Copies of this chain bind each other. A is one copy, B any other.
Amino acid sequence: MTREDLIHEIKKKGSFLCVGLDSDLRKIPEHLKSESNPILAFNKAIIDATKDYAVAYKPNLAFYEAMGEKGWEILRETLDYIPKECFTIADAKRGDIGNTARMYAETFFLQYDFDSVTIAPYMGKDSVQPFLEYPGKWGIILGLTSNQGAFDFQFLDLKSEGKKLYQKVLETSSSWGDESNTMFVIGATKADMLKDIRQIIPNHFLLVPGVGAQGGSLQEVANNGMNQDCGLLVNMSRGIIYVDDSENFQEKVKAKAEQVQKEMQALLKGFDLI
């Protein structure tokens, strides 16, 4: 999906919501467990309930891989079920030397038809570049993550540059591609840093996890991170898909997604984007 198409979808739906499909057999509603394929049934129910309010879906690969071969079949069928106008993200956090990165890009862009893949930056340029060579496909590089472990390395002060590691990662890796094929993961739990981050990467789209279950604020993310094209995809996983576990969970999930979309719509209006 091109940047223009993504922006069009955001404006049309009045939403920059990404729904994270961290689908776990231990957490889905009890009554679905008697289905022949419980996780696929759950994913379809979640997609049905949220597709009017979400512009993107992000299956978390770990949850599918943990089911073995069957998990990858479910992933493929889930991907087929997501409406074509929605942006899809393989949250896989891959990253390896050039010839291996090329195989990962083939996996997610050719074998499965994802629009984008999340990538870890530690191994540098040749580990990222193969993901940036497919027209209409995206690499989403980890910049500043939403977890406690982000403080172990990402905030280290560098000697000669007056920067922290994550700032250097954003600066360097944003030069490998451009705003049409590169996004960055920036955790909402560090939303106060978004203003500074926008100095380094004013135009890139940011994938923002951590709103909801991890405690980040949507308002703060928008105030500090929104740009002239919106430039944000805010992901919510547990805060939407596990909002209820009764037989009526779909209604509750839908109501939650609609509530988030209404907040996003107001924010987009406030920034004169719609």
Contact = CB atoms under 8 A, between A and B. Distances in A.
A150 B66 CA distance: 30
Contacts of A219: none
B122 A148 contact: no
A274 interface: no
Nearest to A102: B62
A159 B146 CA distance: 24
Interface in A44-78: 60, 62-63, 65-69, 72-73, 76
Interface in A62-100: 62-63, 65-69, 72-73, 76, 91, 93-100
B124 A122 contact: no
Contact of A73 (B69, B125, B151, B159): B69
B165 A152 contact: no
Interface string A228-271: 00000000000000000000000000000000000000000000
Contacts of A112: 68
Contacts of A76: 68-69
Nearest to A99: B22
User: Which one of A100, A104, A122 has the highest number of Cβ atoms from chain B below 10 Å of its Cβ?
Assistant: A122
A201 interface: no
A203 to B, nearest CB: 22
25 contacts: A24-B103, A62-B94, A62-B103, A65-B104, A66-B107, A66-B110, A67-B111, A68-B112, A69-B72, A72-B72, A97-B147, A121-B153, A122-B153, A123-B150, A124-B152, A124-B153, A124-B154, A126-B147, A126-B148, A153-B168, A156-B159, A156-B165, A156-B168, A158-B158, A159-B159
Top 6 nearest A-B pairs by Cβ distance?
A124-B149, A124-B152, A62-B103, A157-B159, A97-B147, A120-B120
Interface of A: 22, 24, 60, 62-63, 65-69, 72-73, 76, 91, 93-101, 103-104, 106-107, 110-112, 120-128, 142, 145-154, 156-160, 165, 168-169, 172-173
